[in-house]
Structure 1
């Protein structure tokens, strides 16, 4: 059953493009995490050295045991509690490169182009992108990776992403569960895990957006319903995302309750206002 559902999903070219792009971002993140971690530590050491230099006249020195939390200032909304680059998703890592001056030697235009693509991917209402969009996305990712030619993981990622975006990802239900096009690198379990991670990130994006607005718009409800309908038709993914979906539905119910309470309060206030106006009118008449 799970393999048949996977085959059905990947039979949709635009959904397959969406997953390929998301997987490419996961590969990009993995390739740059070590570099980002080392650079953050170097940045922290510089800050410690500057602090020690300023304090040295009074005989005070930093022990060097403080944690490099300054990078949290560069995290996007909802990422401020991330403890290090190894815990970052692609969005947080790219924003670190974009906003932290320590990474100013990286071409910021290339970083912003990939951020834009990532946001378009996660905000896609139906989790689908065209082949022309995927091609442009691939060019932007490869352009960014040229900024890291001195990093072996980045160069390996360039090759893997190029192969990934040009692969077919055909699934043959009879006689095995291998995906064609990646030379046996991935099986159905691995690609389902990638799908689940991407959809989990999408649900997180919707939740953050709703919490930030402190209200539920019709567009938000449509986004949630699309994901809900998708998961109802794909039980293998539904099982692994039950907790995230339930959290989002709980938020919807909470905001609906608040909206109803505000509506009832407004109705009471309107009634009191009408009554006050009526009494005032009677007084003037008398």
Structure 2
């Protein structure tokens, strides 16, 4: 086990960041079946109450960018119904580019994607969506009337704090408030949330101090090792923690690399992504085990930062 990982786990704030981020992965497992079940029922209700929605698309309608130009009668009807059930109504900013309108009649998840952040066009099922995408779906589609929207909004803010924390650290007080929101939404996700709530509670209470004497390899299954992969009560094998850490950092890196490289993205979001990448670059380089593990990603970061600096230099010349 690397000395660098042991050093990082001496920081309580960093351990909190790992545990809180891992809880989002557990939450995702409850959100998948819950969102899929509710959207399937919602889709059936729409078809039952709106006869025109049962007609097939007449013109192979497609989104153009984030707009839906020249829709046929059926797809226009679908667009109207989708907006009717959007909690922001006519003022909603809908990512139509997520959707392929001819599938709305047959595929309930194609409808769900209209209520989600952009970047979902290649997603076909709930199980392919991450936690923020599913929380946004619940937040914006009014078919999720049984879920406390205040709690959903809080969890979106908690998730953003975890993803955008420059220090990769959160306090004990923050964790306490986070647990309250997680516990509340698990009750709303019944029955899917009951089992996951127990796992989240175990994750939040577990001791991430490494059991130094235990260095044997652990099998990595498709969902990765879990809290149960331990040889002493309340302690986790160091390889499990290392696996969690790598996956969380990888997710963070990919999100900011994509945001910083997005030519059509929001300028403020792009600037924030560049700041985050610079911070992550320093963090990875300062930890020898991580700099080796993320050597390819560090090259990607350097390329993206250089490209963004080049864009700024060009803007200065044009000005």
Cα gap change, 1:176 to 1:192, in 2 (>3 Å): closer
The Cα shift of 1:83 comes to 2.8
* Alignment deviations for residues 44-69 of structure 1 (CA, whole Å, 9 cap, x no partner): 33344455x22779xx9999645631
Partner of 2:203: 164
Cα gap change, 1:236 to 1:86, in 2 (>3 Å): farther
Structure 2: unaligned runs, 5 residues or longer: 59-73, 75-101, 218-226, 231-235
Structure 1: unaligned runs, 5 residues or longer: 267-286
Larger radius of gyration: 1
Q: Which whole-Å CA distance do the structure 2 matches of 1:119 and 1:197 have between them?
A: 17
Q: Which whole-Å CA distance do the structure 2 matches of 1:220 and 1:38 have between them?
A: 34
Cα gap change, 1:177 to 1:188, in 2 (>3 Å): farther
Partner of 1:277: none
User: Are the aligned partners of 2:23 and 2:200 in contact in 1 as well (CA < 8 Å)?
Assistant: yes
Partner of 1:199: 249
SS at match of 1:34: helix
TM-score normalised over the length of structure 2:
0.69
Q: Which whole-Å CA distance do the structure 1 matches of 2:280 and 2:53 have between them?
A: 54
SS at match of 1:169: strand
Q: Which whole-Å CA distance do the structure 2 matches of 1:177 and 1:202 have between them?
A: 28
User: Are the aligned partners of 2:17 and 2:168 in contact in 1 as well (CA < 8 Å)?
Assistant: yes
Partner of 2:169: 128
User: Are the aligned partners of 1:114 and 1:141 in contact in 2 as well (CA < 8 Å)?
Assistant: yes
Q: Which whole-Å CA distance do the structure 2 matches of 1:242 and 1:232 have between them?
A: 9
The Cα shift of 1:30 comes to 1.1
TM-score normalised over the length of structure 1:
0.76
User: Are the aligned partners of 2:163 and 2:252 in contact in 1 as well (CA < 8 Å)?
Assistant: yes
Partner of 1:37: 36
Query: Which has the larger share of helix?
Result: 1
Written as runs of structure 1 = structure 2, the 5 A alignment for 1:150-161 is: 150-151=191-192, 154-161=193-200
Q: Which whole-Å CA distance do the structure 1 matches of 2:36 and 2:54 have between them?
A: 28
Choose the corresponding residue for 2:184, options 121, 129, 143: 143
Choose the corresponding residue for 1:224, options 277, 302, 316: 277
Partner of 1:113: 154
Query: How many pairs were matched up?
Result: 257
Written as runs of structure 1 = structure 2, the 5 A alignment for 1:1-286 is: 2-50=1-49, 53-54=51-52, 65-66=106-107, 68-79=109-120, 81-151=122-192, 154-176=193-215, 182=227, 184-185=229-230, 187-207=237-257, 209-210=259-260, 211=262, 212-214=265-267, 217=271, 221-266=274-319
| Cα root mean square deviation, aligned | 3.2
Q: Which whole-Å CA distance do the structure 1 matches of 2:189 and 2:107 have between them?
A: 29
| Structure showing greater relative contact order (alpha-carbon pairs closer than 8 Å, 6 or more residues apart) | 1
